[in-house]
């Protein structure tokens, strides 16, 4: 059994490779990655087989493209990652979600995860002037799901670094599949379902079951899309229950990225 890490990617192959290297190191290799590529990224890799091979040669990663995604609209693709893992016969006992802009910094993540049933951030009310507020609260298709889960659609939770025991994960997604139809969803939302509706499902489940729950593993820096600096990287090493950081510069040689490689003892030639 291994931990299944699922994510989406739409940008730089070198940054994706860096990310996988940090995850492999911090999970002691006890991890398998399924990454759903955007249409554009998938096309770029198809015409650059050498670059694609440099990622696949890491050995514990599978890249694929199946559904259309957009900014903030990726939950259906992340679910596809889980079902793709089942199709491939990957034997996993936990599922972890993360984003393309985070890196792992702390070691022993795999052992930490297996102490708990769920790792998920507590929800908070969305600011009325927030980027996703109107799109989330006006998504009419969520009304029946909202009623079923006895939830308030005005709150959301951070999703990066959340993890779930395999059997619990499938219980959590059942309400979404029931009320939203197919795995691609009959009508795509225009907001992060993993931070809104999925957060409702998590709270509903935890309120009715005796579970060992902890916070999510990846720290999201305060401030809109704030980029991590070396000081941020050094600080989270000493934070209990925090193993990763979001967000990093898209410059592959950025000082904060270099610092992560130094702390983990990774080869800087891989930057």
State residue 187's pLDDT score: 59
pLDDT tens string 56-99: 999 999 999 999 888 888 898 999 999 999 999 999 999 999 99
- Residue 74 covered by a domain: yes
Question: Is pTM beyond 0.85 here?
Answer: yes
- Residue 165 covered by a domain: yes
- Residue 9 covered by a domain: yes
pLDDT at 128 over 80: no
The pLDDT mean for the chain works out to 90
Let me know the angle formed at the C-alpha of 202 by 201 and 207, rounded to the nearest 5 degrees.
100
Q: What dihedral angle (degrees, nearest 10) is formed by the CA atoms of 215, 218, 222, 223?
A: -130
State residue 72's pLDDT score: 80
Would you say 8 and 82 are in contact if contact means Cβ atoms under 8 Å apart? Answer: no
Mean pLDDT calculated for residue range 135-148: 79
Selected residue with higher pLDDT from 91 and 182: 91
Distance CA(215)–CA(219), nearest Å, equals 10
Token pair in block for residue 186: 């009959």
Confidence of residue 271 (pLDDT cuts 50, 70, 90): confident
- Residue 161 covered by a domain: yes
- Residue 269 covered by a domain: no
State residue 257's pLDDT score: 98
pLDDT tens string 213-254: 999 999 999 877 899 999 999 999 889 999 999 999 999 999
- Residue 167 covered by a domain: yes
State residue 24's pLDDT score: 98
Confidence of residue 150 (pLDDT cuts 50, 70, 90): confident
- Residue 88 covered by a domain: yes
Token pair in block for residue 67: 């559904």
Percent of the chain topping pLDDT 90 = 67
State residue 176's pLDDT score: 86
pLDDT at 37 over 60: yes
Name the residue range of residue 197's domain. 2-217
Contacts 24+ apart (CB under 8 A), 185-189: 185/76, 187/141, 188/73, 188/76, 189/73, 189/75, 189/135, 189/139, 189/141, 189/142
pLDDT tens string 163-180: 999 999 999 999 888 887
State residue 106's pLDDT score: 94
Q: What's the count of helices (H) and strands (E) in the chain, helices before strands?
A: 11, 12
State residue 185's pLDDT score: 52
CATH at residue 41: 3.90.550
Number of domains in the chain: 1
- Residue 162 covered by a domain: yes
């Amino acid at each position: 059994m291994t931990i299944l890490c699922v994510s989406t990617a739409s940008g730089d192959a070198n940054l994706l490779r860096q990310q996988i290297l940090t995850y492999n190191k911090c999970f002691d290799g006890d991890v398998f990655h399924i990454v759903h590529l955007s249409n554009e990224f998938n096309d770029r890799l198809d015409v650059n087989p050498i670059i694609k091979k440099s990622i696949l040669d890491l050995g514990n990663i599978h890249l694929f493209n199946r559904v259309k995604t957009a900014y903030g609209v990726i939950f259906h693709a992340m679910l596809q990652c889980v079902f793709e893992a089942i199709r491939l016969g990957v034997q996993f006992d936990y599922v972890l979600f993360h984003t393309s802009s985070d890196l792992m910094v702390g070691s022993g993540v795999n052992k930490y995860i297996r102490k708990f049933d769920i790792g998920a951030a507590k929800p908070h009310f969305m600011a009325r002037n927030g980027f996703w507020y109107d799109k989330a609260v006006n998504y009419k298709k969520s009304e029946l799901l909202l009623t079923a889960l006895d939830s308030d659609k005005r709150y959301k939770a951070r999703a990066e670094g959340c993890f779930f025991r395999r059997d619990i994960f499938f219980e959590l997604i059942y309400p979404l599949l029931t009320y939203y139809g197919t795995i691609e969803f009959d009508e795509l939302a225009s907001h992060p379902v993993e931070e809104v509706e999925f957060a409702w499902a998590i709270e509903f489940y935890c309120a009715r079951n005796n579970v060992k729950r902890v916070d999510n593993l990846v720290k999201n820096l305060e401030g809109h899309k704030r980029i991590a600096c070396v000081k941020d990287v050094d600080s989270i090493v000493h934070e209990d229950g925090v193993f990763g950081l979001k967000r990093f510069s898209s410059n592959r040689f950025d000082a904060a990225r270099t610092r992560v490689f130094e702390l983990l003892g990774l080869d800087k030639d891989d930057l």
